[in-house]
Structure 1
Amino acid sequence: MHPTVATPSDKLVVYQIFTRLFGNQKTTNKPWGSRDENGVGKFNDITDIALKELKTFGISHVWYTGVIEHALMTDYSAYGIRQDHPAVVKGRAGSPYAIKDYYDVNPDLAVDVKNRMKEFQALLKRSHDNGLKVLIDFVPNHVARQYHSDAKPKGVVDLGAKDDKTKAFSPGNNFYYIPGVAFQVPEGVNPPVQTEKQYVEQPAKATGNDVFSAQPNINDWYETIKLNYGVDYQNNRQMHFSPVPDTWTKMRDILVFWAKKGVDGFRCDMAEMVPVEFWGWAIPQVKAAKPGIIFIAEIYNPQQYRNYIFNGKFDYLYDKVGLYDSVRRLMEGKGNAKEITRVWQNESGDFSQHMLRFLENHDEQRIASNEFAGSPWVAVPAMTLSATLHTGPVMIYFGQEVGVNPTKAEGFQGDDGRTTIFDYWGIPEFQAWVNGGKFDGGKLSKDQKQLRAFYQQLLQLVNTSDAIRTGAFYDLQYTNNNNQSPGYNATTLYSYLRHSDRQKLLIICNFDRDQAAKTSIRIPAEAWQAMKLDGSKTYQFNDIFQTKTKVRAKAANAIPVELPPLGVLVLEIQ
Structure 2
Amino acid sequence: MKTNGILTFFIVLTVLSSCKQQTKLKSTPPPMKKKEVVYQVFTRLFGNTNATNKPWGTIEENGVGKFADFSDKALSEIKALGVTHVWYTGVPHHAVINDYTAYGISNDDPDVVKGRAGSPYAVKDYYNVNPDLAVDPANRLEEFKDLIQRTHQAGLKVIIDIVPNHVARNYEGMTNPEGVTDFGASDDTTKVYDVNNNFYYIPGKAFKVPEWQDGYLPLGGDENRLADSKFEENPAKWTGNGSRLAQPHFNDWYETVKINYGVRPDGTKDFEQLPEAYRQKNYKAHYEFWKDKTLPDSWYKFKNIAQYWLDFGVDGFRFDMAEMVPVEFWSYLNSNIKMKNPDAFLLAEVYNTSLYRDYIHQGKMDYLYDKVELYDSIKHIMKGYGWTDHIPVMQKGMADIEHHMLHFLENHDEQRIASPDFAGNAQLGKPAMVVSATISTSPTMVYFGQEVGEPGAEDAGFGSPTRTSIFDYIGVPHHQRWVNNKKFDGGQLSEEEKSLRDFYKRLLNFTINSEALMGEYQEIHFYNKDNTEGYDHRVLSYVRWSAQEKLIILSNFDEHKNYSFNFKVPKDVIAKWQLSDGEHPLTEELYGKVKKNMVIDNGQGQIQLELEPLQSYIFKVGN
Shared fold, TM over 0.5: yes
Structure 1 CA distance for aligned equivalents of residues 36 and 595 of structure 2: 30
- The Cα shift of 1:529 comes to 2.6
Confirm or deny that 1:292 pairs with 2:343.
yes
* Contact preservation (8 Å) 1:547, 1:569: no
Aligned to 2:189: 165
Which residue, 210, 216, 223 being the options, matches 2:242?
210
* Contact preservation (8 Å) 2:68, 2:135: yes
Aligned to 1:108: 132
1:278-357 matches, within 5 Å, as: 278-349=329-400, 351-357=401-407
Q: Indicate the larger mover: 72-81 or 548-557.
A: 548-557
* Contact preservation (8 Å) 1:497, 1:504: yes
* AA partner of residue 211 (structure 1): S
Which residue, 518, 534, 546 being the options, matches 1:487?
534
Secondary structure of the 1:73 match is: coil
Confirm or deny that 1:23 pairs with 2:72.
no
Which residue, 434, 442, 447 being the options, matches 2:491?
442
Aligned to 2:224: 194
Structure 2 CA distance for aligned equivalents of residues 530 and 305 of structure 1: 31
> In the superposition, relative to structure 1, how do residues 21 and 8 fare at CA in structure 2: closer, same or farther (>3 Å)?
farther
Q: Indicate the larger mover: 404-413 or 258-267.
A: 404-413
Aligned to 1:144: 168
Which residue, 432, 435, 460 being the options, matches 1:410?
460
> In the superposition, relative to structure 1, how do residues 313 and 457 fare at CA in structure 2: closer, same or farther (>3 Å)?
same
Secondary structure of the 2:218 match is: coil
Secondary structure of the 1:554 match is: strand
* AA partner of residue 88 (structure 1): V
Secondary structure of the 1:199 match is: coil
Secondary structure of the 2:174 match is: coil
Which residue, 207, 211, 219 being the options, matches 2:251?
219
Which residue, 538, 556, 576 being the options, matches 1:530?
576
Q: TM-score, normalised by structure 1?
A: 0.96
- The Cα shift of 1:413 comes to 2.5
Confirm or deny that 1:499 pairs with 2:545.
yes
1:529-568 matches, within 5 Å, as: 529-531=575-577, 533-534=578-579, 536-546=581-591, 548-555=593-600, 556-568=604-616
Identity %: 49
Structure 1 CA distance for aligned equivalents of residues 100 and 39 of structure 2: 30
- The Cα shift of 1:8 comes to 4.5
Structure 2 CA distance for aligned equivalents of residues 458 and 357 of structure 1: 14
* Contact preservation (8 Å) 1:6, 1:391: no
Structure 1 CA distance for aligned equivalents of residues 53 and 336 of structure 2: 44
- The C-alpha deviation readout for 1:300-342, integer Å capped at 9, x for no partner, is 0111111111110111111101110000111111101111112
> In the superposition, relative to structure 1, how do residues 10 and 543 fare at CA in structure 2: closer, same or farther (>3 Å)?
closer
* AA partner of residue 82 (structure 2): G
* AA partner of residue 59 (structure 1): V
Aligned to 2:438: 388
- The C-alpha deviation readout for 1:343-378, integer Å capped at 9, x for no partner, is 2112103x2111111100100000111011111110
Secondary structure of the 2:566 match is: strand
Aligned to 2:416: 366
- The Cα shift of 1:249 comes to 0.6
Aligned to 2:98: 74
Confirm or deny that 1:509 pairs with 2:555.
yes
* AA partner of residue 367 (structure 1): I
* Contact preservation (8 Å) 2:35, 2:513: no
Gaps of 5+ in 1: none
Structure 2 CA distance for aligned equivalents of residues 279 and 144 of structure 1: 21
RMSD: 1.5
Secondary structure of the 1:436 match is: coil
- The Cα shift of 1:464 comes to 2.2
* Contact preservation (8 Å) 2:38, 2:87: yes
- The Cα shift of 1:527 comes to 1.4
Q: How many residues align?
A: 566
Structure 2 CA distance for aligned equivalents of residues 248 and 51 of structure 1: 35
- The Cα shift of 1:264 comes to 0.4
Which residue, 405, 421, 425 being the options, matches 2:474?
425
- The Cα shift of 1:260 comes to 0.6
- The Cα shift of 1:460 comes to 1.8
Aligned to 1:239: 269
Secondary structure of the 2:96 match is: coil
- The Cα shift of 1:290 comes to 2.5
* AA partner of residue 250 (structure 2): I
* AA partner of residue 221 (structure 1): W
Gaps of 5+ in 2: 1-25, 273-293
Aligned to 1:51: 75
Confirm or deny that 1:473 pairs with 2:521.
yes
Secondary structure of the 2:531 match is: coil
Q: Indicate the larger mover: 300-309 or 556-565.
A: 556-565
> In the superposition, relative to structure 1, how do residues 8 and 92 fare at CA in structure 2: closer, same or farther (>3 Å)?
farther
- The C-alpha deviation readout for 1:189-247, integer Å capped at 9, x for no partner, is 62125225631111110011111111111111110000000111x31x10011531000
Structure 2 CA distance for aligned equivalents of residues 535 and 372 of structure 1: 45
